[in-house]
Structures are given as structure tokens and as C-alpha cells.
Amino acid sequence: MRGAGAAVPGGVHAFLRGHDRRVRPMRAAQAALRRMRPEGFDGRCACGLRQRTRAAICLFPLRGFAGRPINECLKLERRVAMADKRKTRQTQLDETLLQRALNLARRGVGQTTPNPAVGAVIARGDRILGQGYHRRAGEPHAEIEALRDAGGPVRGATLYVTLEPCSHFGRTPPCADAIIRAGIARVVFPLRDPDPRVRGRGERRLRAAGIQVERGLLRDEAIALNESFLFFHATGRPLVTCKWAVTLDGQAAAASGDSKWISNAASRRYVHDLRGRSDAVLCGIGTVLVDNPSLTARGAGCRGRQPIRVIADAALRTPLGANCIHAQPGGPTWFLTTRVAPASRVRQFEAAGCRVLRVPGRRAIIDFSRAIAALGEQGVQSIFVEGGPSVHAALIRAGLCDRVVAFVAPKVIGTPPGWRRTPVYGWGRDRMRDALGLVHVRIRHFDGDVCIEGDLPALAGVFRRL
């Protein structure tokens, strides 16, 4: 036995967690492998499984590392450690303080819509003079909060802010001017604000005032914080996430149509969180008629905010007593419909407090391109779509599905002869190699259920171009 000498004390993964985005581990590991002579490895991997041979597989769910031999991970750890040593002290300090600003920004998530969540820290060297975050739309921006928090003079200090400072008069005056006035010497921020009223103007104004500007640090973290805001302003339409649940054998319902419940209570709690983080929740008339969902957000992460309930209902067949209209606490209910919906029916829904948006189009089915655009015009930045199969298929066909969140439950329901029900129906590719491959796959576990979340490549492209 090779014994304890070769054991890995959890360090590989602990280490990689912080670094996997920066070094593109797959490529680095492959390059490292090309150079080195692979050798056997016998130790306990942090993933908890005993690894015995050079072919041992790392099962830790790190993006890009799952399934890699453990000795590749080890080699990579050394490479990353070397790269870190080369990093300058200044970069490390910048990263620490910008990370602090990101943590501050997180406190505002879900409260600032339609504004982004932003945090700011003002420091001279490693001494923090002031900090703050944007609390609510209409209240001061993070930069102003930090300047106020500093109280005294900040001339010559560095401002760390999680998004480009604004340059326009909205409900508050432009932050860039306040920064210039305060005498800040250097501004560090991760990425430009794609809002057409800013889009580089804030940065240019700072530079014109002689302020040193550094952009690009902790970019991915800053994107993750405000995904739908950034996507909305970069593309002009809301970010659309399709969510479904399937059994292990790929069924979205039992033979009777019954689908209560595929996923377990822990998964459903997470779904409520996801609803609460979206501006709108959307489902089709089929789902309303079969499941009568409430479409409310009852998760811990909602912080009292309820998404708009959007029903795609071409002929307004939703019963007037449906849960999606009356269940409380719930957001306002909007109907997407077509020209075939009777005017009397529209009046009934309006009388019940709903809003009815007629989507232009010649046919009696909803044109989702126009429907999603119409929601965007109403300021909806993110839509969480909960089926059914035809709605998912229509969105995918129109190229409007940006992200997929699929819950897979460890149960087998089977399909009787002649009967099958899958979560995407009405659109399909002929060859497996033409399947829509998701990128940046995130995998979560909920008491045995697995939640697989991934982005369509186009979404990743939008964020890359920010």
C-alpha cells in the first residue's frame, strides 16, 4: 500500500475553487499533461472517494474538473500556485477590495430593480475610508453612499465599484461628476454599464478628468451579480430561463397527465427562490388548465418581492377563478393573447384586475418573439418560464430561450405503449450532434434531486461581449 504519504489534504479543490475561472483549467491541464509524464497516484481526494490508479477520476463537481484524473488536478494546482506568486501585491489588494464591494452589492440584490445591484468601497492603500451599496431604485447610488460614508476628504483615494459609474441624470445626478468633484485619483471597476445612457460614457468622463481607470478585474463575479440587468440592456430583451422537471426516464408527467410532484420539497423551495429573483414568471394555457398553478414566490430568497404572473393564452381560455389570478401573495397577472381573444373576455379579465397584452400576429397562436419584446418594453428584465412542453419548444424554436434549469428526480415513472410526455414538444433536431449543447453547466443537489442549469451558447456570447 502506498499509504498516507500520498494523501491530498483537501487542498486541491479548496484551491481550485477560487481559481477555476481564471486559468481555464481544462486547457491548462491538457497543456500540463502534454509536458509531464503521467504517474500513478494513491491518495484520498477531497471528493471523498479513494483514488487508486492513475486513471482515478475526480468526482468533485467543479466546472471543467469533474471526471478529470486526480493527478491532473494536482499538476494544475502547482501551476496556479506559481501564477499566483507572480501576481503583484497591488492586484491582490485591488481584488480584495473589489470583492468587498461585490459582497456589499449582494445585499441589494432583488431590491434595486430596474437598477443593478452595485457596491462601492473607497480606500487609500489598504485602509478603507468609506463603503456603501445601492439599496433601492430612487435611493443614492453605491458610489454616493460610499462618499457619504467616508465623511471626510477622499482626495487621492481609490474607488472600487462593481459597475461603471453612471454619467446621466436619472432619478439621481451622475456619479461620475461626484467622483471627480471628490478628488478620487483612481477608479477600479469590473465592467462597463451596457445601459445605453452610460455605455462607456462614465469611463470616458473619468478619464477626461485625469482619473486613472482600471476595468476588467473580477468580471465574471460582477456579471453573475446582475445577469438580467446586463442582458436586458445589452440585447434589448428580457433574459428567458426555461425550467422543467423530469423523472430519471425523462418524463414530465405520468400517463394520466399527473405531474404532482416530480421534484421534491427541497427542489421546489429552490424554484420559489428562482421565481422570486425574476421579474416575471410565465406559463402556457395548457399548464394553467392542467395544474392550476399559483405562480407565486414563497421562497426565503424573495424578500417580499413577487414576480409578475404572465399567462400565454391565445384565446383567453383561462378560467376567471384560476389561482394565477387570485392566489396571494402574488404579483400582478398579465395575459399574452392574440387577435382571436373575444373583446368581452378581455373586459372580464381587466375587471378582475389583470392586464391583457394583445400580441400582434396574423395567426391564432402567440408569436413569442413579439410577446417577449412586448414584455421587455414594459421593463421586464427577466422571465422564468415554467412550461408546458409547447411553450418551451416555441421559445427554443424562436431562439429566445437563454438558459435552461432542469430538475431530474431519482424516480422512474415509465411510459405505457403509445404514451410519452417530455418537457420540450413541437421542436426537435434530427441528429444528436445537432442538439443544443448547454455551456457553463451548474449542477445542484437537493435531497437526491439534481438540478442541472446551463446557458445557451448565445447567452454566454452576450456576456463575453459585455
Which residue matches cell numbers 396571494?
Answer: 328
Least distance to its own copies from the beta carbon of 273, Å?
A: 8
Q: Which of residues 300 and 351 has its CB atom nearest to its own copies in the complex? A: 300
Containing 252, the helix (H) or strand (E) segment is none
Pairing mode of beta strands 186-189, 333-337: unpaired
Min dist. Cβ of residue 266 to its own copies (A): 4
Of the candidates 170, 104, 100, the one whose C-alpha atom is nearest the C-alpha of residue 134 is 104
Is-catalytic flag, 143? yes
Radius of gyration of the chain (CA): 25
Task: Give least dist CB 417 to its own copies, A.
Answer: 6
Alpha helices in 87-166 (DSSP H): 89-106, 142-150
Name the minimum Å distance from CB 462 to its own copies: 19
Q: Give the CB-side neighbour count of residue 121, counting CA atoms within 13 A.
A: 23
Residue with cell 477622499: 154
The distance of closest approach from Cβ of residue 329 to its own copies in the complex, given in angstroms and rounded to an integer, is 17
Q: How far apart are CA 289 and CA 317, in angstroms?
A: 9
Sequence-distant (≥ 6) Cβ neighbours of residue 169 within 8 angstroms: none
As a whole number of angstroms, the distance between CA 115 and CA 172 comes to 12
State the residue for C-alpha cell 459582497.
Answer: 103
Do the Cβ atoms of 162 and 109 come closer than 8 Å? no
Grid cell in block for residue 287: 399548464
Instruction: Please say which residue, 125 or 416, places its beta carbon nearer to its own copies.
Output: 416
Closer to its own copies by Cβ: residue 199 or 305? 305
> How many degrees, rounded to 5, is the angle at CA 105 between CA 101 and CA 107?
125
129 or 354: CB nearest its own copies: 129
d(CA 366, CA 238): 17
CB of 397 to its own copies, least distance (A): 8
Q: Which of 433, 164, 108, 122 is nearest to 277 (CA)?
A: 108
Q: Which is nearer to its own copies, 7 or 352 (CB)?
A: 7
What burial class does residue 374 get, using C-beta atoms within 10 Å of its C-beta: 0-12 exposed, 13-18 middle, 19+ buried? middle
Looking at the Cβ atoms of 450 and 466, the one nearer to its own copies is 450
Could you say which of 143, 203, 386, 453 is catalytic?
143
User: Is the previous residue joined to 388 through a cis bond, with omega within 30 degrees of 0?
Assistant: yes
Least Å distance, CB 73 to its own copies, is 13
**Could you say which DSSP state residue 69 is in?**
B
Cβ-count burial of 433 within 10 angstroms (0-12 exposed, 13-18 middle, 19+ buried)?
Answer: exposed
Nearer to its own copies, 201 or 421 (CB): 421
Cell of 28: 491548462
**Dihedral sign (CA 382, 459, 117, 242):** positive
Q: Which helix (H) or strand (E) holds 71?
A: helix 70-86
Which one, 203 or 449, has the nearer CB to its own copies?
A: 449
Beta carbon of residue 203, minimum distance to its own copies (angstroms, whole number) = 28
Q: Which residues have a catalytic role annotated?
A: 143
